[in-house]
Structure 1
């Protein structure tokens, strides 16, 4: 009986990583939310991709954060992989990934851990995401990837955990055994497609990705057109998606983004679109 209890306790342990880019105030707020969790993290890692977080300002009651400075801003995936290595070294089985602008309540970790514990085949679980500015509106209740590699957010209400193709990277809990099975998070994208690729890679390795009714909030930002199209092409090539659906999916996204560019900035960003597609075809990876 004690062995079963020990195993359950071990599975419920988690480390949290905050991926920071400047904004000391937001990082401090996320740390306080972690310290208010009904299930406390064993470790908090702050990966400082901007190189200007004040370590002394992060101190307080509870778990002292581990600060890792990466002022060269190597990207989201690198931050996750670095934190995962720290967690593994400490014998921790789960990693809660948070961007520095994530907003969540005190039951977040418990809800995600419970969902992961209830499904041994789940490698990743995330909450339903709502907008910070419009909390009544759902931003993402999981994502879908089309045959052509276009990624979409679902925005419907859910009452129970459900399997999805991918979940948004703002807030998610990873089972480190599952992350290990895919060789860590793919660092080729730098921004805006790591979460899609992770869901796809987990599925290929036999792991499910879940979204649950527990909610968190984030204010999503605009994606740079060049980087978004580059990453979409990189993913399509990695996944060996059928060429014709990919061409149509990339062309449609480019056209939609061009229309948005004209309406928002009164300019037609054709060069950005062309360069993004070319970068993907030339296999240009990582930080632009």
Structure 2
């Protein structure tokens, strides 16, 4: 586990105390993995409170899924692993990823929160992740969103930051056979900002993954959260680009997570159709790039 670096006076620590809200949107979630996610979140909040960087946290769980699996989870002793404020939202139907997070923001609209963490139910964060993130955001008021260093469960690197996509690049990443994509390895590496997003802080990111986005609440409110034009896929791309018009998006490698997510764009015809539709919506909004 990494540790929070730097020494600060008691006065500066006191001034940095702030309120964090977190939203997690689920759909037929793996409850065992979700429990691990919330446990790691709870440890990170506790650590940040000990460092004087956080005063209070509130978690909003949005259940988009069928059945009552999350209800059982909520009644099954969640308070033992999450001793802070907790709210739950159950939409009348599956409203999608972005709209689900917007519903969470609406649920806490009257709360005075300084930061909001958009978090996937399959992310495990290091104990110091929130502390390092909050410390960076406190020192850089021009930053509206922060994205972390991510690994796959096997320890290999996962690249969350992206350049502006083209149709051809998306085809190579999501659908092309490996032998066909192999000659374009450099193009794909450049798209994922490999070699750029390594061990140094960078505040010129344009597109960040929605699996972990620590946002300044004011920045989110200014742009109205996620666009309701997306059901699934590309809503984080759109959010990033709208945020980056007036705020900086920073990659901070001292903020470390493990993300269990997969290449969901390849899972069945329905997912592929949704991916293509969302891609068309994104390019219609932000400009087409074919190659």
TM-score past 0.5 threshold: yes
Question: Counterpart in 2 of 1:80?
Answer: 101
Q: Does 1:24 align with 2:31?
A: yes
| Partner residue in 1 for 2:62 | 47
Q: Work out the CA distance in 2 between the residues paired with 1:215 and 1:7.
A: 25
**Deviation digits for residues 166-206 of structure 1, max 9, x if unmatched?**
111111101111111212111211112111111110122x1
How far is the alpha carbon of 1:99 from its aligned partner? 0.9
Give the C-alpha shift of residue 68 in structure 1: 1.2
1:56 maps onto 2:103 in alignment: no
Q: Give the whole-Å Cα distance in 2 for the aligned partners of 1:238 and 1:60.
A: 44
State the Cα distance separating 1:50 from its structure 2 match.
Answer: 1.0
1:101 is displaced (CA, Å) by 0.7
- The 1-side partners of 2:103 and 2:252 are apart by 26
Query: 1:66-145 to 2 correspondence within 5 Å?
Result: 66-70=87-91, 72-132=93-153, 134-135=154-155, 137-145=156-164
Q: Which of 177, 198, 201 does residue 161 from structure 1 map onto?
A: 201
1:150 Cα deviation after fit? 5.8
2:20 to 9, 14, 36: 14
| Structure 1 unaligned blocks of 5 or more | 250-288
- Aligned equivalent of 1:284: none
* Deviation sequence 1:63-101 (CA, Å, 0-9, x none): 152121126221111122122233442211211111111
Q: How does 1:269-288 map to 2 (within 5 A)?
A: none
Q: 1:130 touches 1:218 (CA, 8 Å); kept in 2? A: yes
Q: CA deviation at 1:234?
A: 0.7
- Which segment drifts farther, 224-233 or 155-164? 155-164
Number of residues of Structure 1 aligned to a counterpart in Structure 2? 238
CA-atom RMSD in angstroms:
2.5
Distance 2:284 2:220 in 1: 21
Q: How big is each residue's C-alpha offset from its partner over 1:83-136, in whole Å with a ceiling of 9 and x where there is no partner?
A: 22334422112111111111111111111112222211111101111112x21x
User: What TM-score, normalized by structure 2, do the two folds share?
Assistant: 0.74
Q: Distance in 2 between matches of 1:180 and 1:149?
A: 34
- Residue 237 of structure 1 is matched in structure 2 by 284
TM-score by length of 1: 0.75
Shift in CA distance, 88/94, structure 1 to aligned 2, threshold 3 Å: farther
Whether the 8 Å CA contact 1:127–1:211 is kept in 2: the answer is yes
1:167 and 1:101 map into 2 onto residues whose CA distance is: 17
